[in-house]
Amino acid sequence: MDHFQLKDGVLHAEDLPLPAIAEAVGTPFYCYSAATLRRHARVMKEALSALDRPLIAFAVKANPNVAVLSLLAKEGLGADVVSEGEMLRALKAGIAPGRIVFSGVGKTDHELRAALDAGILQLNVESESELRRLSAIASGMGRTAEIALRVNPDVDAGTHAKISTGKAENKFGIPIDRVEALYAEASTLPGIRPAGIAAHIGSQLFDLAPMEAAFTKLGHLVGRLRGAGLSVTRVDLGGGLGIPYDPSLPLPPSPADYGAMVARVTTGWNVQLMFEPGRLIAGNAGILVARVITLKSGAARHFVVLDAAMNDLIRPTLYGVYHDIRAVVPRPGTMAATVVGPVCETGDMFAEDRRITPVEEGDLVALMTAGAYGATMASTYNSRPLVPEVLVDGDRMAVIRPRQTLEELVGLDRVPHWLKEGA
Ligand SMILES: *Cc1c(COP(=O)(O)O)cnc(C)c1O
C-alpha cells in the first residue's frame, strides 16, 4: 500500500497535489512518501515480531538519500552497505555503527579499514582471499573484525537473471561446501571473530520456496558448524522479497507470509537473525514525476515523449521491467502509447504499446514504484543533470536533494593546459 492516491481527480503524494510540487521544483523529480516508508518499516517489523531480536538492516543501495535513511533510522532500522560511500551515508543519517553490516563482493583494503575504524557490527566476507586480507588489516590495526561468511547456497531464486545472486555460477558468496573449512580457519585467524553466516539469493522474489530452500540449507550448515565445535551467533538472511510493480499481475508473498516462513524454518537455530530488505521498504514509497514534452505519431506507433529518460530511471532499459504509468490529472478514456524519454537510445523506453489514460502535451505523468533502484541508479548520460528528490510528510514537503545545475554537471571537467586555446 502506498500514499500516492487520487483526490478530487488529482494524484497526490499524501496531502500534497503533485502539480503543486512540480510547480515548486520543476520536472522531472522523484517524490517519496514518508508515511509509506514508515508503514513499510513497521510492516516488516511486525512480520518478524515472533523472532528474537531481529535486526532489520535496510539495503542502502536501494535508496541511499540521507533523509530517507534518517527516517528509517528513527524507525529503528539498521543499514546494509556495500561501499564506503554508503557507510558514510548511513552514519550521517544517525544509524549506529552497531546496526551496520558491510556486504559486497569486492571490498577494497581502504574500505575494510574504514569499516573497522567505524566499528560496524559485521562484515559479510565473500571469499577466502578477502578473509585473509581482512585478518591482516584488522590485526595490523589491533582490531577484531566480526564477520559472517556469505554463503552461495546454489538455489535458483526464479527471478530476473540480472538480479539472481544465489546460483553456483553467480559471483556472490562462498560455495556452500567450502564454508565449514573456511569458518574453522576464520576462527583461528588473528583479528577475526566469526559470528555467523549470511546469504542473499536475489531480488524481486515472487516465490518463497527458493528462499525457504536456501534458509533450510543455512540451518543445516549452522548445525554442522556447531557440530564441529564452532560458535554461530548470527545468521543474515538477506533481502529480496518482491513488490508489486504491475497491478495486473498476482501479488507477491506478503511480509507476514515471509515472516511466518522464516519463523518456521529457523525454529531452534538460537541465533540473532538479520534481514536486508531494500526494495520492500522503499520501492512503493517513491515515484518519478515527468511532463509530456511531445506526442509523436511514428509509422507504426504512437509515441509519448517525456522529459524523464532512461538516465533518470534505468530499470525498464536495464531489466525490461514494468513501471505503472499514471496521469497526474487523468482524462477519461484510454490510449495506446509507447512511452519514451528524449535520450538518443532506442532502449530509452518506459513502456511499449501500453494502454494508458490519454495524455496531452504538457500533462504530468507519474512512473510508479520508483522509490528503490530509481534515483540511485541515475546517470547524467546525454549531459542531463540529476533530478531532484522531494520527501513529502503529510502536508509538508522538503527537497532532500536539489536538482543538479548545469554548472555542477559540466564544471567537473578539466581541459589540460596543452589543449587550451593558444597553447
Ligand atoms: C541488493 C541486496 C539486498 C537488497 O535486495 P532487495 O531485493 O532490494 O531487498 C540485500 N542484501 C544484499 C547483499 C544485496 O546485494
pLDDT at 167: 83
Q: Distance (Å, rounded) from C-alpha 37 to C-alpha 6?
A: 19
Say if CB 289 and CB 214 are below 8 A apart: no
Q: Which atom of ligand 1 is nearest to the CA of 62?
A: 8
C-alpha 105 to ligand 1 mean position (Å): 13
Q: Distance (Å, rounded) from C-alpha 249 to C-alpha 252?
A: 9
Domains and CATH numbers, the chain: 4-30+283-410 (2.40.37.10), 32-280 (3.20.20.10)
Distances (CA, A) of 283 to 366, 372, 409: 14, 4, 27
In single-letter form, the type of residue at position 130 comes to E
Torsion of CA 74, 78, 84, 89, to 10 degrees: -10
Say if CB 101 and CB 80 are below 8 A apart: yes
Strand partners, 297: 302
Q: Which atom of ligand 1 is nearest to the CA of 372?
A: 8
Catalytic residues: 344
C-alpha 292 to ligand 1 mean position (Å): 33
Please, what is the Cα angle at 304 between 292 and 280, to 5 degrees? Answer: 80
pLDDT at 265: 98
Say if CB 200 and CB 162 are below 8 A apart: no
Name the pTM for this structure: 0.97
Name all residues whose Cβ lies below 6 A of ligand 1. 59, 61-62, 80, 103, 200, 203, 238-240, 276-280, 372
Which of 63, 82, 203, 319 gets mutated to test ligand 1 (max ligand atoms within 8 A of its CB)? Answer: 203
The list of the chain residues with pLDDT below 50 reads none
String of b and e for 316-326 (b: at least 16 CB within 10 Å)? bbebebbbbbb
Which of 43, 61, 274 gets mutated to test ligand 1 (max ligand atoms within 8 A of its CB)? Answer: 61
Q: Which grid coordinates are listed for 178?
A: 567450502
pLDDT at 251: 95
Distances (CA, A) of 139 to 120, 133, 145: 16, 10, 9
Please confirm whether the linkage preceding 342 is cis (ω < 30° from 0): no
- Helix runs in 119-207, H state only: 128-141, 179-186
pLDDT at 164: 79
C-alpha 2 to ligand 1 mean position (Å): 21
Q: Distance (Å, rounded) from C-alpha 376 to C-alpha 107?
A: 20
